[in-house]
């Protein structure tokens, strides 16, 4: 299962990541660390991500950091601006609407095929993911719940068998996670805690049309819960955020 490390894991600090050069595995670990910091709102929208500071924090070359920032920019978690460098993307109301419109078109459209292909093992896996998301919310672990919800939706998309659309859903879920982290309500993801279980029930029954309609209502409820208020730009303390 490819969840692109969106499920809750121990966050790797710069110290735990070590200082062992610019290998691909190390770049992946730094990418995940920065991604988590953005989704968990430790790095806030608009925060500048200076290459020299990140290079010092993680002990890799500026070239390596530049590649990681470019990767994050492809997922639109980071914005690259000429002469100004990188900063955490600041979602706008229009961008949030675009993201959820795209999710409506793609995720809802995939539900009939998911209902046709889903297996008993898939159902067990999805119910476990939904359970962990509920437990995280109940424990007040908002960022963990957001990541688990994104992982759930990406996993659903992969069950359709269309790897290209599933990859796109994964990117949309990453952007949605940032939007939810910034503009969502504490202790709530904009939907009922049992929504994912209800959706699984329709899929398990092979009812693709009901699953499609339910997914549409589910996504609309999340979007409707957002309260978009602009925040002031700030310069983050990267050493403090990444535990260096």
145 exposure class (CB count in 10 Å sphere: 0-12, 13-18, 19+): buried
What is the Cα–Cα distance from 126 to 119, expressed in whole angstroms?
Answer: 11
pTM for this prediction: 0.73
Tell me which residue of 22, 33, 4, 36 sits closest to 67, measured CA to CA: 22
Alpha carbons within 13 angstroms on the beta-carbon side of residue 188 total 13
Structure tokens that stand for 49 in this block: 């991500």
> What pLDDT tens digit does each residue of the chain (244 aa) get?
444 443 334 444 544 454 555 688 999 999 989 988 887 778 888 899 999 999 999 999 999 999 999 999 988 889 999 888 999 998 888 999 999 999 999 999 999 999 999 999 999 999 999 999 999 988 888 878 888 999 999 999 999 999 999 999 999 998 898 888 778 776 667 677 689 999 999 999 999 999 999 999 999 999 998 887 655 556 677 777 787 5
Question: 99, 178 in Cβ contact below 8 A?
Answer: no
Question: 94, 140 in Cβ contact below 8 A?
Answer: no
């Amino acid at each position: 299962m490819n969840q692109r490390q969106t499920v809750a894991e121990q966050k790797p600090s710069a110290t735990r990541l070590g200082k062992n050069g610019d290998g691909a595995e190390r770049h992946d670990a730094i990418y995940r660390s920065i991604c988590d910091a953005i989704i968990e709102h430790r790095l806030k929208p608009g925060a500048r991500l200076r290459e020299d500071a990140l290079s010092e924090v993680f002990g890799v070359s500026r070239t390596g950091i530049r590649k990681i920032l470019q990767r994050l920019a492809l997922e639109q978690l980071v914005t690259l601006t000429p002469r100004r460098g990188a900063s955490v993307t600041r979602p706008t109301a229009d961008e949030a609407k675009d993201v959820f419109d795209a999710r409506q078109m793609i995720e809802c459209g995939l539900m009939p095929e998911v209902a046709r292909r889903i297996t008993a093992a898939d159902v067990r896996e999805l119910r476990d993911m939904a359970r962990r998301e509920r437990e995280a919310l109940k424990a007040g672990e908002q960022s963990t719940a957001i990541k688990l919800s994104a992982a759930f939706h990406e996993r659903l998309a992969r069950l359709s068998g269309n790897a290209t659309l599933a990859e796109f859903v994964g990117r949309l879920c990453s952007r949605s996670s940032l939007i939810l982290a910034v503009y969502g309500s504490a202790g709530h993801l904009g939907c009922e805690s049992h929504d994912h279980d209800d959706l699984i029930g329709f899929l398990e029954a092979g009812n693709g049309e009901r699953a499609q309609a339910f997914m549409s209502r589910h996504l609309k409820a999340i979007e409707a819960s957002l309260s978009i208020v602009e925040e002031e730009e700030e310069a983050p303390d990267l050493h403090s955020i990444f535990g260096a």
